[in-house]
Structure 1
Amino acid sequence: MQANVAHQEQRRQDRILLVLAVALLASQAFSDFLTRNALGIATLWPTNALLAGGLLVLNPRRRVVLIVIAAVSHLAIDLMVGDSLGHAILYTLVDVGEALLVWWVVRRFFGPPRVRTMRQLALLTTLTAPVILAMATLAATVLALTYGLPFVTVLTDWFVCGVLGMAIVLPAVLVLLDSEHRRAFHRPLLEQLGLALLAAALSALVFHRKGLPVPFMLFPIALLTAFRLGPRGAAQTSLIVACVAIPLTVHGLWNSQIQTDWSQAHQNRLVQVFVGVLFVTSLAAGLALAQQERLRRLLMRREQLTRAARARALAANEAKTEFLATMSHEIRTPLNSMLGFSQLLVERRDLAPDVRRQLTLIDSAGTALLTVVNDILDFSRVEAGQVELLFQPTSAAAVLHDAVGIIRPEAENKGLALEVDVVDPVGGLHDLDGLRLRQVLLNLLNNAVKFTEAGRIRACLTIEPGELEDRLKFEIVDTGVGIAVERQGRLFQRFSQVDSSASRPYGGAGLGLAISKALVELMGGKIGFDSAPGHGSAFWLELQAPQVEPYDVGEPQPVAAPGAARILLVDDHPMNREIGAALLSLVGCQVETADNGEQAVAKAARGGFDIILMDIHMPQMDGLAATRAIRALDGEAGEVPIIAMSADALPQQVERCYAAGMVDHVAKPVQREVLYAKVSRWLARR
């Protein structure tokens, strides 16, 4: 492929060399034969600009070929028009030297040979004008000293024709050869030819002896071409106008229109000035459109990159979610057996005290591992924005006392004093999410107990009445190890711990405080801390909440007697079926089991069940498909409450359960209280 690209570039260079060589010969012949003044100086001279443009875009080998062609043709044409050998050599050396000097200056001070802004056009003219002036001075000096020609007149004529030619032709050549302009405004060949013919015809109509003396009519067609073809269209139109108007002017066909006694040289310069103004005007429009087109393509490219980055981010998020779901399921499944059997064994009355203590330790370790898993799930819910707050009339003091009561046994086992201090001049209820508030307080209290080896822990609540909302400030103050200043900045970051070294004495996933901060901010509050190493820590959170009256929740519904409940337990894992059946049998439920979804559907079709507990991942037919099949049954068999009992606990996994027709969800490892509460709730509704 690289060889093919190189071959195409070589062919392109050959075409450019051929076109420039033909243009050089034609322009030299036209200028020398038809536009020379009385001093033998051409009044139109685009040749040096064509040569300089070729030097800027050709490779070294073709550059040398173009220089040789320009020098030989220049010398030959000068001799053909009657110049002496000295004149011919002088003209050739000065013109070729001027092109070479322009090439060096542009490459040295201009950068890449391209014109894409008006600033670049102005800079190109600014750089080339001094070079032309220097070479015109050199030529005028030699001609004045050698042949006695008037210095000022020669200098003026030489400079004017050179600077006009360079100011129009050189930027036009660079624009026409710029591949960026060609790609940006690619139009059908028929349209390009039509615009070119229209410009040529209108130019002939304007500059013909019997034509219309309205050269301003060329501006609309030049602007139209610039709008359709961009900067290349502006350059093409200007060169077409020049190629039509200048020969007509040289032959005196425009003299009757301008009605002046100007010499032919002045008329030629007037046409050049007109073409220059036309070129600059249309090129400005074309460059503005080209800039807009570049910005549009850049925006499209950035949109593509943004879409690609978003797709990668979504894929990464899906991979993270899938990984989290798989790991959660794989961890919860064995935990269900560990905690379930340990809870069943603890209920036995024939255990020795040391065996009961060891079972309690197993249960505590499993519960700690479950806490880590739940923290990860909670944080994933917070990140996904899937945490919904349930505000209801809540006693802030009661929530604090509840949290302290849960943590008190652990604190007392470590010999810590746990104090509660409540300042509540209001004494009423506030609109709060009590469950989430308790979760935050438990996180703070757990940390206080974990990082305090001796001393006390104080849990404080201060309520300050307000006009619309009261200010609730909770504080958990301990006498623990404290937090070093350099480590305080990352305290509320996810998976971050105060001590992350291999020798750290405290465990945990580093998610509790990150979850607490997210929940507090979701409730519209703020959380912070003050700490000093060796002097303990004081964590606080502030909430704004209005006072509310208690809701009338009505009379509690009676719960069906457990002994009357007939439950179908569906799980492919034998240990899970044994644990679930044993836990339910403890409260008098009649339990029947099924190994997979197909068995569950067949047994549910016979009827007689009050509740179905359904696992999700099973062979032959999974729990979701089984649920949909049961819901399709006729009569009461299709209306039995189906509760998911699965290690799939992520929000999106739970939503799939509800979408399949399940009414509730119990996450593994199964906690007895949660299982009994869910079963009692749906029995009551039955």
Structure 2
Amino acid sequence: DTGIGIPETKRNSIFQKFSQADSSTTRKYGGTGLGLVITKNLVQLMGGNIDFKSNRFEGTTFWISLPLRKTEKEAVIRQNNADIPDSSHIKGKRILLTEDNIVNQEYTLKILQDMKVNTTLVETGVSAVQYFRDHASEIDLILMDCRMPEMDGYEATQIIRDLERFQTPLKRVPIIALTANAIKGDIEKCMASGMDDYLAKPIHRRTLERMLIRWLYSGETDLPKDTLPSSPAIHHDKMIDMAIYLQTKDLMGDDMPQMTRQYIESIAGYIAQMAAALPQNLYHDIAEAAHPLKSSSAALGATRLQTICAQIEQAAIHHHDHQEIEDLIAHATIISHHTIEALKELQHAPA
């Protein structure tokens, strides 16, 4: 951690639930105090220990020790074979594949055909935008090549996200980048444009299957969408990734309600910091507020809010257009309200 460091006098308290070395840190540097308690719980569940060494104002190095056993190669192979994903859960889902390379088209279409999903193929970013404009409500997920003629995948994704605000404001279609350059800068560019995840080329069958299952299967029901009971509130799977939420809930146990309350209480402050910094073009302050909200949203499975905070952070870092950032913050405000409602419903739902 390249932050301000941790004084030795705080060694015993730093791992306590929902604490920070300095109570003013949250206000000055961001952060919610959730990261270390989650990490410590994970390490302890694995029978390990966690500790740190730190120099004041020079950052902190955390370390963990885990009692792991060496596994025979044959056992690993058996486990890998047992982990073949079950794609029957997403049968009939509607995929928009945006890919201009003929070989990649045929290979990816064959995998999708075997998974029994319905696929529409377009070859340019322009075609992807036009198809989305005409069929937005009919698309469950988009596989978006990043490098294409006429309009690349980054620009196409940005336009699609703009269209969503007006055409399907309560639905966010997952967009998965298909990129040959899965390095940090390119991945950040994907996230900043509005994509949700990425696959590195060459694409492997199992990797693609797992990616689609991750984004298209909630694990809650196999009923078609039109047979589900209606609700005046936004469905949880629109705001909350239930797989992540339930994993965190299982990990945190009795501390989950307190963690959720603390997260909810922190949201308005971060949104307000972003909004207050915008008129003065304080891009650094905007990014500093977006970053911790992005991280804590990820821990709770609030993926919609996590994604838009990532977009705000990147837009601020790169000094994007003032109006673009203003629109993103406004959208984050709306999404934050729906996220809070969804989490409150989950807190009061029967176990």
- Whichever of the two has the greater Rg, that structure is 1
Whether TM exceeds 0.5 here: the answer is no
Give TM-score, length-normalised by structure 1: 0.20
The structure with higher relative contact order (CA 8 Å, sep 6+) is 2
Give TM-score, length-normalised by structure 2: 0.38
Q: Which has the higher helix share?
A: 1
